[in-house]
Amino acid sequence: MSYTAKDLNPLVRGDDWSIKLTITENGSAVNVTGYTYWLTLKSDIDSLDPGQLQVSTVASGANATNGIVYINVPHASTNITAQTYNYDVQQADTSSPTIIKTILLGKVKVVKDVTRTS
């Protein structure tokens, strides 16, 4: 499986974000139970992690069995400068040996929110 180049739809600064991934191989869902996924945003792709934002999640439950993963980013973490960022999503299959793959790679625009109070 190689990565998919894909620009994400714009996300709003200060909102909760949820990115749904469906992991398939040869057209069939992959059981990703226990796999770890990272979403990283950086304004400079060469800067060190974590960049402007980095979150991880471990796939579990019925969704994971069916190849579905949600990367949820709480609004407390999305109060970053509104601009276009480089992003990727990496997957870690921790069975022996651990296999790391970049599955998504592209750009995402973070737009300004209007309401700045909660």
Hey, what domains does the chain have and what are their CATH numbers?
4-111 (2.60.40.3350)
In the predicted structure, residue 118 carries a pLDDT above the cut 70: no
Which residues sit opposite 81 in a β-bridge? none
Query: Mean pLDDT over residues 77-88, rounded?
Result: 97
* String of DSSP letters for 51-113: TTEEEEEE--HHHHHTTEEEEEE-GGG----SSEEEEEEEEEE-SSSPEEEEEEEEEEEEEPP
pLDDT higher at 50 or 116:
50
What pLDDT was estimated at residue 116?
A: 80
* Res 80: pLDDT: 96
Which tokens hold the place of 32?
């990703």
